[in-house]
Amino acid sequence: MELPRPRRDIELTLRVNGAERPLTLDARTTLLDALRDHLHLTGTKKGCELGQCGACTVLRDGRRIKACLTLAAMQAGAEIVTIEGLAADGALHPVQAAFVEHDGLQCGYCTPGQIMSAVALLREGRTGSDDEIREFMSGNLCRCGAYTNIVAAIRQAADRAA
Amino acid sequence: MVPFAYAAAASAPAAIRHVAQRRDAEFIAGGTDMLQLLQDGVRSPSELIDINRLPMTAIEVGPKGARLGALARMADVADDPRIRAEFPMVAEALLASASPQVRNMASIGGNLLQRTRCLYFRDVATPCNRRAPGTGCPALDGENRLNAILGGSVHCIATYPGDLAVALVALDADVHIDGTRGERTIPVERLHRVPGDAPHLETVLEPGDLITAVTIPAGAAARRSHYLKVRDRASFEFALASAAVGLEVDGGTIRAARVAVGGVATVPWRLRHVEEALVGRPLSADVIHEAARTSSDGAEPRGRNAFKVALLPRTVERALRTVGGLA
Ligand SMILES: Cc1cc2nc3c(=O)[nH]c(=O)nc-3n(C[C@H](O)[C@H](O)[C@H](O)COP(=O)(O)OP(=O)(O)OC[C@H]3O[C@@H](n4cnc5c(N)ncnc54)[C@H](O)[C@@H]3O)c2cc1C
Ligand code: SF4
Ligand code: FES
Ligand code: FES
């Protein structure tokens, strides 16, 4: 099989929150920029663009990834879920509700990433103890230091899901 | 980021041929190191060839050992119950690496080839022999707290930053390579080059060489093994010092020992003299202490990284005590 000719402009279809979104993008476009600047899904935040803060966490085929560390072109055909895709029929996802209840935020900038990461964490079953939650949430930084309430929110969402 | 062209490869031979022929074409796998380097302007490939669709994701474990496809994700290897049982140091090294999100993305092949975290290497506003040959090495007398005390030269003292490769070197693992001249297999220990007078030549790979898999031989010392990573914060940080150790013990006597260290050397660093000081001796805290205290022999600290000379033997000692049941 020959290699398709490498292109600087890429035509692709992203599947985001259940919808097919055809796009033509510069090959350099990260998944994060495609979501925010081209699909106007600005719930996914841009912090460091270096994989270090977790603000850009989304789900790809059910697993959490950092949208700033992958090219949009590499995600053609994958199922992407962003914070905008979590609530069902206007009802908050249980993790979203738990963050509200426990005040798991201050400025809120890291919160979409925290919540997407926590949704995946629950699926991974990494909520055995508060220490396990802390370790497996370590990819999400909070400059406001809302960690205590973030862990409490995740603890509650995990207990209710059990 | 400078403009580049992108294509997803459907077959390995076509991808290999293309990258071998095109100047500045590169593979991209998980993208986690590549995107950082692109964002920082450290790399400017003309083309990126996405290898994620190649069938190289399998994790196989048999009585003789394990085979990790180059595109197996760090998280999948770390969570594999067979890897955790037969090669604990491999699972532990991966779990201690990066964050859950990065581990879901990053591949085994890309992990081995991740570039150094030397501050100057990743800052294009500064000179750096490794990034821009012949410009000098500001780390020698500069901000070198994270830099290497072993395996350096007057041209470069960059630390090899990865964790997995340290465990693989301890276990005599091999890396399988496919290239324009066919397939070959080399020990992981021979993949990376010490900087010498050519720090920009980081590995023995040639243009177009594709890592296809890593194989790890099974054994008693692999089964009784541990990876200890010491860092500035409890999680999500690179190693200041790390130790991948394994012991085979029979009737209270150490029959085989594996010791490799990370965070302190320019390449994944095997400590054979420490292994030799353990083999044939009774398993005891004293024997471990005597062997581990030579871990930094030959070290050449350069100022801010001098603390590693004391940190390394303690890291090795603690890891050996843990695996020996003497912690
Ligand atoms: C925030 C952050 C924290 C991190 N912390 C740690 C840590 O604590 N410990 C640790 O060990 N690592 C850490 N890493 C590094 C991470 O493990 C690597 O970035 C990752 O493993 C690279 O794999 P990848 O598949 O994403 O590689 P890519 O970025 O896709 O590629 C890296 C390089 O390898 C080449 N390549 C990839 N696959 C192949 C192949 N099969 N054959 C030939 N060439 C190939 C590419 O051309 C490129 O040059 C961290 C990374 C980030 C972003
Ligand atoms: S230690 Fe190596 S990577 Fe760091 S500045 Fe010197 S030459 Fe560059
Ligand atoms: S913006 Fe992606 S991790 Fe910070
Ligand atoms: S709430 Fe402000 S960064 Fe987390």
- In tens, the pLDDT along B262-280 reads 999 999 999 999 999 999 9
Boundary (domain end) residue, out of A85, A116, A150: A85
Q: Which atom of ligand 3 is nearest to the CA of A49?
A: 1
Whole-angstrom distance, CA of residue B262 vs CA of residue B188: 14
Whole-angstrom distance, CA of residue A103 vs CA of residue A157: 13
- Do the beta carbons of residue B263 and residue B151 sit within 8 Å? no
Whole-angstrom distance, CA of residue A158 vs CA of residue A118: 9
Average pLDDT, stretch B195-217?
A: 98
pLDDT of residue B5: 98
Within 13 A of A18's CA, how many CA atoms are on the CB side?
A: 6
pLDDT of residue B327: 85
Using an 8 Å CB-CB cutoff, list chain A residues near B17: 3
Pocket of ligand 1 (CB under 6 A): A 51-52; B 26-34, 36, 51, 70, 97-98, 102, 105-107, 109-111, 113-114, 162-164, 210-211, 238
pLDDT of residue A111: 98
- The minimal CB distance from A2 to the residues B3, B14, B39 is found for B14
CATH number at residue A98: 1.10.150.120
CA A57–ligand 3 middle distance (angstroms): 7
Q: Count how many domains chain A has.
A: 2
- Please count the residue pairs, one from chain A and one from chain B, whose beta carbons lie less than 8 angstroms apart: 119
CATH number at residue A31: 3.10.20.30
Residues A64 and A98 in one domain: no
Q: What's the Rg (C-alpha) of chain B? A: 19
Per DSSP bridges, beta strands A57-60 and A63-66 are antiparallel
Whole-angstrom distance, CA of residue B213 vs CA of residue A136: 27
Cross-chain residue pair A1–B11, CB shorter than 8 Å:
yes
Nearest listed ligand to the Cα of residue B176: 1
| List of domains in chain B | 1-50 (3.30.43), 220-323 (3.30.390.50)
The answer to whether position A44 is within a domain reads: yes
- The minimal CB distance from A6 to the residues B5, B10, B38 is found for B5
Average pLDDT, stretch A24-48?
A: 98
The answer to whether position A2 is within a domain reads: no
Please say whether the dihedral angle defined by the alpha carbons of residues A71, A73, A79 and A80, taken in this order, is positive or negative.
Answer: positive
pLDDT-based confidence at A1, cuts 50/70/90? confident
Residue A144 domain boundaries: 94-161
The answer to whether position A63 is within a domain reads: yes
Residues A102 and A135 in one domain: yes
What would the pLDDT profile of B71-128 be if each residue is shown by its tens digit?
A: 999 999 999 999 999 999 999 999 999 999 999 999 999 999 999 999 999 999 999 9
CA B245–ligand 2 middle distance (angstroms): 28
pLDDT of residue B61: 98
What is the pTM assigned to this prediction? 0.98
Report how far apart the first and last C-alpha atoms of chain A are (Å, whole number).
48
* Residue spans of beta strands (DSSP E) within B24-173: 25-28, 47-50, 59-61, 65-69
What are B158's two structure tokens? 């960059």
pLDDT for residue B144 is more than 90: yes
Check if A52 has its Cβ closer than 6 Å to any atom of ligand 3. yes
pLDDT of residue B15: 97
Per DSSP bridges, beta strands B241-250 and B253-262 are antiparallel
Q: What's the Rg (C-alpha) of chain A? A: 16
Question: What order do you get walking across the sheet with B241-250 strand by strand?
Answer: B225-230, B241-250, B253-262, B269-270
Per DSSP bridges, beta strands B25-28 and B47-50 are parallel
pLDDT-based confidence at A90, cuts 50/70/90? confident
- Do the beta carbons of residue A44 and residue A56 sit within 8 Å? yes
Per DSSP bridges, beta strands B269-270 and B253-262 are antiparallel
CA B118–ligand 2 middle distance (angstroms): 6
The answer to whether position A32 is within a domain reads: yes
Report how far apart the first and last C-alpha atoms of chain B are (Å, whole number).
49
pLDDT for residue B23 is more than 90: no
Identity at A69, one-letter amino acid code:
L
Cross-chain residue pair A50–B52, CB shorter than 8 Å:
no
Residues A76 and A41 in one domain: yes
pLDDT of residue B48: 98
* Neighbouring C-beta atoms of residue B280, cutoff 10 Å: 12
Residues A65 and A18 in one domain: yes
Cross-chain residue pair A69–B31, CB shorter than 8 Å:
yes
What would the pLDDT profile of A102-134 be if each residue is shown by its tens digit?
A: 999 999 999 999 999 999 999 999 999 999 999
Mutation target among A11, A23, A69, A70 for the B interface, most CBs of B within 10 A: A69
CA angle in degrees (0–180, nearest 5) for B148-B152-B155: 120
- The minimal CB distance from A3 to the residues B9, B30, B36 is found for B9
How far does A117 lie from chain B, in Å, by closest CA?
A: 8
- Do the beta carbons of residue B151 and residue B196 sit within 8 Å? no
The answer to whether position A124 is within a domain reads: yes
CA A43–ligand 1 middle distance (angstroms): 27
Is B55's Cβ below 8 Å from some Cβ in A?
no
The answer to whether position A72 is within a domain reads: yes
- Do the beta carbons of residue B91 and residue A130 sit within 8 Å? no
- Do the beta carbons of residue B89 and residue B108 sit within 8 Å? no
Whole-angstrom distance, CA of residue B106 vs CA of residue B111: 7
CA B108–ligand 1 middle distance (angstroms): 8
- Do the beta carbons of residue B305 and residue B290 sit within 8 Å? no
Smallest CA-to-CA distance from B45 within B26, B19, B17 is with B26
Boundary (domain end) residue, out of A32, A53, A85: A85
Residues A102 and A156 in one domain: yes
The answer to whether position A100 is within a domain reads: yes
Boundary (domain end) residue, out of A85, A119, A142: A85
> Interhelix angle for B285-292 vs B307-323, to 10°?
150
Q: In the 8-state DSSP scheme, what is residue B283?
A: -
pLDDT of residue B245: 98
Cross-chain residue pair A54–B101, CB shorter than 8 Å:
yes
Interacting residues of B122 by C-beta distance below 8 A, sequence separation 6+? B36, B37, B40, B42
